[in-house]
Structure 1
Amino acid sequence: MPVSDPHPIASLVRPSRTRTLNKLSGLLEPHRLILLALFIAGVLAAIQLMEWSWLPGYLPKLWEGLQMTLIMLVSSVVVGFLFALPLGLAQVNGIWPLRWLATGFCTVIRGTPLLLQLWLFYFGLGALFGQFPEIRDSWAWDYLRQAWPYGFIALTVSFAAYQGEIMRGAFAGVPHGELEAAEAFGMSRRKVFCRVWFPRALHRALPTLTGEIILQLKSTPLVATITVMDLYAVITQVRQTTYLTYEPLLFLVAVYLCLSGILIVGLRWVENRVPY
């Protein structure tokens, strides 16, 4: 006869403890310890041998630039994802005019450089608005005369096009039998979408969405080309003022690495908690 486990709770804890020990042993492998030691030595050498006296005086401007970078990133990702959902749905389950429009939009935006789109919005659309006295005399001109709305539009449009194509694949990849089963239970189309189709598609798209958000973060420095004072623009001013090259750029690299790490950890946490 099988012998029952006298400590059932401990038997449940052991696999989790084993996985933790395996992860720790993996981190303590010789090649990883060598890489960690080289990284720490590089950081200490950069701190000791390079010029960092400029940093305290520029911290307020750097903080403002970081805020602008984060605002551009978060707003373009959120609004772009809201546009990506109908773009993906239209390509999968829309009538043919909407399907062709959505496909054409994603194809054109993904087929042209983001920098070109940014300049077209700023120098093209911005100059066009300035030719109409009705717009110049309205409340909107206080915003349209600035550069950041066009940077936001360009980043949002680009993210929506790429993520719309990803959501198209995610929606199309949900097994049709699951949708038919939900309809068999008497769910309306709205409930099928909210409770079955969208959660399943979102879970399939989350790993790719993480990569797209990281790419979006690395695309935000392009807004500096239209005079938006983000973190990269502030670093450029520091280089021009202090005549230093490596120190400001290394600081910028460190900030973007930290932001990327935070985004990866946060999105992995969300990914692990989205139900299948």
Structure 2
Amino acid sequence: MLEFIEKIAPMLLSGAWLTIKITVISVVIAALLALPASIFRIQKSRLYRTPVQVFISFFRGTPLIAQLFLVYYGSGQFRPFLMEMGLWQFFRDPMNCALLTFTLNSLAYQTEIMRGAIQSVDAGEIEAAKSMGMKNSLLYRHIVLPLAYRISFPALGNECILMLKGGAVASVITVMDLMGQTRRAFSQSFDITTYFYAAAMYLVITTSFVIAWRFAERYLYRHQVQRSPNKPSVQINNRSKTATT
């Protein structure tokens, strides 16, 4: 048993690192794009709102694996066009296709999360800022966005966890992430415990992320803690729990 673990450990660790890398890159890029997309999403004009709604409906309403196939295999149908545009080198790489698909999928979910958070900001605070003559740019920078990110923080953590686990489908297009390396190791040994070790590694990664996210959440909500001389500190606003595996 020890010999078998020593044999597959390098493969699983390599795959785990690639899984973390794909998740972090796709989620971070999606987070950067989610803010402007959510602002377009809440505009009254259909010219700005409708394209974002269609995008969100598609990526939230279809399976992630179907989206991955559309990007990876579907791009081959447009190879001449992509070659003329100089994009074929990007789309021929399964790693790039996985990153693009996961980024777009996460963007759809994060946009809706941010949209709900922005619309949940207390209208009284916004009116108070406007009554002081604050411009919209300053209003969003100092009032709306800080409050919106505090509101959306637990949900964003859940989205990161879901993307980490859902990203296992990348192995079907030959991306050697944790699940891809697990399938490779299993094909060489036919030992079913290989999948148990992979599941344990996913559990370790997600648990570590949840713990780190909870520390970040406590820091973010530190101003909501009131202290009593006779009682331990109690959190005033008990928001929804952070992401769980």
Shift of 1:75: 0.7
CA distance in 2, matches of 1:105, 1:133: 26
Q: For residue 205 of structure 2, what is the amino acid of its counterpart? A: L
Work out the CA distance in 2 between the residues paired with 1:239 and 1:180: 61
Aligned to 1:269: 215
Separation (CA, whole Å) in 2 of partners of 1:130 and 1:262: 45
Aligned AA (1:111): G
- Corresponding residue for 2:199? 253
**Equivalence for 1:17:** none
Pick aligned residue for 1:85 from 18, 24, 35:
35
Decide which moves more: 114-123 or 264-273.
264-273
After superposition, residues 28-39 of structure 1 pair within 5 angstroms as none
* Whole-angstrom distance in 2 between the partners of 1:250 and 1:242: 14
Q: 1:60, CA displacement in angstroms? A: 2.9
Residue equivalent to 1:123:
73
**Structure 2 residue ranges without an equivalent (≥5):** 224-245
CA separation of 1:77/1:189 partners in 2, compared to 1, >3 Å: closer, same or farther? same
Secondary structure at the residue paired with 1:104? helix
Please give the secondary structure, in 2, of the residue aligned with 1:229.
coil
TM-score relative to the length of structure 1: 0.75
Q: Which amino acid aligns with 2:142?
A: R
- What is the distance in 2 between the residues matched to 1:253 and 1:55? 14
User: Are 1:191 and 2:135 counterparts?
Assistant: no
Separation in structure 2 between the aligned mates of residue 269 and residue 94 of structure 1, nearest angstrom:
37
1:257 to 1:130, Cα distance in 2 relative to 1, 3 A: farther
Deviation at 1:141, TM superposition (A): 4.2
Give 1:59 shift. Answer: 2.9
Percent identity between matched residues is 30
Q: Which protein has the larger Cα radius of gyration, Structure 1 or Structure 2?
A: 1
Cα 1:158/1:133, change in 2 over 3 Å: closer
**Structure 2 counterparts to residues 7-156 of structure 1, below 5 A:** 51-93=1-43, 95-129=45-79, 133-134=83-84, 138=86, 141-156=88-103
TM (norm. structure 2) is 0.84
**Could you say if the C-alpha distance between residues 97 and 132 of structure 1 is closer, same or farther in structure 2, counting changes exceeding 3 Å?**
closer
Calculate the aligned-residue CA RMSD, in Å. Answer: 1.8
In 1, Cα distance between equivalents of 2:204 and 2:194: 15
Aligned to 1:243: 190
SS of 1:93's partner is coil
Q: Name 2:124's counterpart in structure 1.
A: 177
Residue aligned with 1:228, SS: coil
Q: Matches of 1:133 and 1:274 in 2, distance apart? A: 47
Moved over 6 A (4+): none
- The match for 1:232 is 179
Picking from 129, 149, 170, the partner of 1:223 is 170
Alpha-carbon separation, structure 2, partners of 1:239 and 1:52? 16
Q: Which amino acid aligns with 2:53?
A: T
Match of 2:105 among 158, 161, 165: 158
The separation in 1 between residues aligned to 2:132 and 2:194, in whole angstroms, is 60
Which amino acid is 2:171 matched to?
A
Give SS of 1:167's match: helix
Alpha carbons 2:38, 2:111 under 8 Å: kept = yes
Point out where structure 1 has 5 or more consecutive residues left out of the alignment: 1-50
**Matches of 1:75 and 1:253, distance apart in 2:** 22
| One-letter amino acid of the counterpart of residue 37, structure 2 | L
Give the C-alpha shift of residue 149 in structure 1: 0.8
**C-alpha displacement of 1:184:** 2.7
Residue 101 (structure 1) shift? 1.3
Find the aligned partners of 1:215 and 1:150 in 2 and give their Cα distance.
Answer: 19
Whichever residue aligns with residue 70 of structure 2, its letter is L
